[in-house]
Every structure is written in structure tokens, then in C-alpha cells.
Structure 1
């Protein structure tokens, strides 16, 4: 999969790498390669790292997910949602395949009213995980306001069927 992503990359820096190092049959260095591989592959690479590798927990802590057991499930769930969207699948009123493992005491703003495990197959929990990671990766992003605008634009969407509570926007996660 890595070779496929590298071969199909349209990134100038990858093409220049192969031109400059054409005699070297190895892949470009990780700092270049990981820029062009798919999110799904990154998720699998992270999940397949050995549990004893300290970098795995370091990455998780950087993203405020405490340790690798949580982050792995979040990345897998987000990757599955990405694939559903990429193939024009339906997210509304759907049993999503991934179940992100939720943090008992997250270090960053999270939900006061955490949905029960029985509804973790619905979109809301997954979207909360995306928002939480975005807060760590890209402070100042506009995800919350864009989501609210989308729901305003399409008022016929039943937020309950997506697992959203009536007061989801009042949660500290969505206000930060």
C-alpha cells in the first residue's frame, strides 16, 4: 500500500526525490513518505506498532488521548467514516462499524453528558472524537461552526438519528 501511494503521488517533493535518488531503490525517508500515504494506512501503521514502543504513547499524549489504546480505536473509527464518505455512503441513521474507546478523564475539554456505550455506533461519538483530535492538531479550526451551519442549512436532518443530543452545542467540547 505504501508503494502504491508513493507511485500515485502527484506531490512535487516525491517526484523530485525519485529524480534525485533514482539509483536508490529504497522508499523516500519516513518524513516524506508519511506525507503522502492515506489516512487509513496511517491508522493501520499506528495500530500495528507494538504496544511496548514508547513512541506510540508519546503520539497519543500529543493528541490528548492519554495512551495508545484509545487513539488506535479513534483512528480506526475515523478511517472507516472517511471511507464511507469517500464512497458516497450514508452516515445518517447508520450502524457505524468502529467503536471508539472513550477516555474516562480526558485532559482536554470533552463531554459532560457522555452517551452510553449502546449508542457508540452512531455518528455523534465519532464526530466528538474528530473534534477532540482537531482541537489538539489544529487549534482555531472551524469544525464546530461549520457543523452547526450544516445542520442549520438542513433542518430536516434528524440529529437524534445521528446520536446528537438536543443540547450538544452546549457541551464544553463544542464550545472550545
Structure 2
């Protein structure tokens, strides 16, 4: 039976000290613990413990380094959220444009175009909920003006209301005979439909971590994106092994690859370098970063 009781902030600090974490008055530990929960910070000091069973810290483990790790992770999420926003808006634009021209503005309701009908039902159900909740004036006016039209609003209205995850699932679920599936992949330098769906699923997953303020530092990521053997645009020469795909680095590379097409003059490399420079205690290996990653053709 779980029998632990809630601790006061003073008791939390005392427990950490007793376990070997160095905490000094200038660390403002009480302030941080009053705004960032003990449980959340625990995800960052866990790696500092040499005895995970009794939670005993390694020698010279410092509270200020825990906070630095936390701040690094927070700033990393904000940086990636900014990058992913650009990818999401671009993907939304391309999916709406190409499919609406190839098929019609209601292509996303056409079950004949999709591989998995059950997955499409779920996607459309979620979209229906999003539209019902939407406060967007264009959606409200559409339903008011077209009461007798029982279809969803056209793609350029409906799909502006859906999530990046739903967009990536719609794209991945398209039958391979739909020409736009390859056209979109080619425009992103992914050659054909074989590779892009796994890239988008990877990025959508990381976007969810960012949106829910979940830890990215030192996290094992499920799933493995499919990589091109010879990408048409600058890529990395030191490609991680398959077992390294659980780390963030390869996913950062895919974001950078897409961003270089969407916004060629982007500052992603500089911003990522500055983040590491500002938090020197952060071990880049915890993200799977390769040595001299910034000198790779992709990141230059």
C-alpha cells in the first residue's frame, strides 16, 4: 500500500540535503520548489543519483545544476515549438492545396482515398469535435450560411482547425495511388511517400511533448523514422545507428532538413548552439548529439 505523505517545501529541501544534494542559500531552492514541483524536478536530478533505490546522490551533485538542466529543457522545448510551428503551417498549406486541386475541397471525407477507414473515422470524429468547439468566426459563419450542406466545411476551413498530429495521420493514411502524396514528399526533399509519414509522426510526437511541458532532455523517444540513403539536399555524414534513434538528435536533424526547405535563412543552428553555450553543465550526449554536429552539411 502506498503510504507516503505530502512534504512541506522545507522538508523537501531537508530530504534532498540528507540524500547528498548540495543546496546553498543563494540557490533559492524554496522559491523554485514553490513554483516547480518536487516531482517534476525529480526527472532532472534522477540521473545525478548513484543509488536509484535509496535516491542517494553522486558526490558534488548540486541543486543549481538541476535548475540549469530544467531551464535548458524548457528553452529547448520553446525553440522546437517555434520550429515545429513553421513545419506544421507549411504541411497544412501543402495538404490543403494539393489535395483540393487534385480531388476536390472535401477530399478528406472521401473514404476511397484512404488506406485505413477506421483511422479516418477517428480523425473525422475528432475534427467534428474541434469544429463544434471552434470560436473561429469563419467556421461559425460557414455553418450559419450553409445550414443545408451536411458536409464539413471545405479543406481550407476545416483543416485549419485540426492538429499537427491529425494532419500527419491524414497524410500517412492516403493511398499511395493519390498523386499528391508523392508530390508533397518531393517538395520536402523526401523523394516519395515512403519516408515522409514517419518524419511527420516523429515531429508530431515531439510537438506534443513541447505542448504539455514534458521533458525532452535525456528522454527515450519511441518509434524510428525511416531515413533516405541519399537525400537530395544537404544531410548529415555521421548518421546515428538505429538504436540511437530513441535520442532526440536524429529528430532534430529531420526538423532542420524540412526547415531548410521551408525557411532557407533559418537560425536553428545558431539558436541551438547558443542554448548549449548558455548551459555548459548540460551533457549533449543525453540528447544523442554527435561530436561537432554543427559542422555537418545539414547544420551549416
CA distance in 2, matches of 1:94, 1:74: 18
Cα distance, 1:101 vs. partner? 0.8
Cα distance, 1:22 vs. partner? 3.5
Unpaired runs of 5+ in structure 1? Answer: none
CA distance in 2, matches of 1:9, 1:66: 36
Q: Looking at CA atoms only, which structure, 1 or 2, has the larger radius of gyration? A: 2
> TM-score scaled by structure 1?
0.91
Change (3 A) 1:17 1:154: farther
- CA offset digits 1:113-143 (Å, max 9, x no partner): 1111120111000011011111122222332
Partner in structure 1 of residue 223 of structure 2 = 98
Which of 85, 89, 96 is residue 214 of structure 2 equivalent to? 89
Matched, 1:132 2:257: yes
Q: CA RMSD in A?
A: 1.6
Change (3 A) 1:11 1:138: farther
CA contact (8 A) 1:57 1:67 kept: yes
Partner in structure 2 of residue 34 of structure 1 = 159
Unpaired runs of 5+ in structure 2? Answer: 1-125
Cα distance, 1:104 vs. partner? 0.6
Number of residue pairs the alignment of both structures matches: 175
> TM-score scaled by structure 2?
0.55
Change (3 A) 1:147 1:10: farther
CA distance in 1, matches of 2:195, 2:128: 28
Matched, 1:52 2:177: yes
Partner in structure 1 of residue 150 of structure 2 = 25
Instruction: Give the 3-state SS of the residue equivalent to 2:299 in structure 1.
Output: helix
CA distance in 2, matches of 1:122, 1:141: 23
CA distance in 2, matches of 1:166, 1:101: 23
Cα distance, 1:82 vs. partner? 1.1
Partner in structure 2 of residue 8 of structure 1 = 133
- CA offset digits 1:76-129 (Å, max 9, x no partner): 111111112222221111210121111111011110111111201110000110
Partner in structure 1 of residue 286 of structure 2 = 161
Matched, 1:114 2:224: no
CA contact (8 A) 1:122 1:162 kept: yes
